[in-house]
A = this chain, B = another copy of it.
Amino acid sequence: MSEIYQSRGELTRNDIITAAYELFIKYGYHGTSMRAIASQANIALGGIYNHFASKEEIFVAVLDSYHPYHEILPILKSAAGETIEAFVRDAAESMINVLKRRPDFFNLMFIEFVEFNHTHLSKLFEKFLPDIVQLSENLAERRGNLRPIPLPLVIRAFIGLIFSYHLSENTFQGDMPLEFKENSQQYLVDIFLHGIIKD
């Protein structure tokens, strides 16, 4: 009863989630021991089990806490721009900015793919779906003409764009020559909008 809004228990729970997140993205799921999580969270190993029944339960909590959909969806929904082009550029810009603040998010996804066969992500995807559909309708309402491509495919291509940007910008940064990186965001969005061919 004061300015403290989290109970002692909630604070410890959050400490565990934060600790686990930091270790998972560095060493992977199986590469991180419960002892390491405990020590990083400044509690005893046994103490973890007052908050989580198992290691996997911790991973699910980490995925939920650190998945950027919390931030991405509202931003994408409020993407501005009267024309399709402006709308897409704004949306891409926002998404890239969010992911810049969560450069390790993709590592979480990869762990999901490899070590859990994306069981948990599939559940998240179902939660997402209505928002994704709404977003694509927003896009279709902008001024300008879309080529006759089903909206779901437009979204898939957009996700591919973000992925491609991220992979080379973060994962392979340092590995690739400068020509691969200059103004890359602008160009990748440009290809998405107008393609590589001059009509």
Q: Does A150 contact B (CB under 8 A)?
A: yes
| CB-based contact A197/B114 at 8 Å | no
| CB-based contact A31/B196 at 8 Å | no
Copies of this chain held together in the complex: 2
Q: Which of these, B144, B188, B199, contacts A153 with CB under 8 Å?
A: B188
Q: Which among A175, A190, A197 has the highest number of chain B CB atoms within 10 Å? A: A197
List residues 167-199 of chain A with CB under 8 A from any CB of chain B. Answer: 167-168, 171-172, 175-177, 179-180, 182-184, 187-188, 190-199
| CB-based contact B152/A188 at 8 Å | no
| 27 chain-A/chain-B pairs, Cβ below 8 angstroms | A28-B28, A28-B29, A30-B30, A31-B115, A122-B172, A125-B176, A146-B197, A146-B198, A147-B197, A149-B187, A152-B179, A153-B180, A153-B183, A153-B184, A153-B191, A156-B168, A157-B161, A157-B164, A157-B192, A159-B164, A160-B160, A160-B163, A161-B164, A191-B192, A192-B196, A194-B197, A199-B199
Which A residues lie at the B interface, using CB under 8 A? 27-31, 84-85, 88, 106-107, 110-111, 113-115, 118, 121-122, 125-126, 129, 144-147, 149-150, 152-157, 159-161, 163-165, 167-168, 171-172, 175-177, 179-180, 182-184, 187-188, 190-199
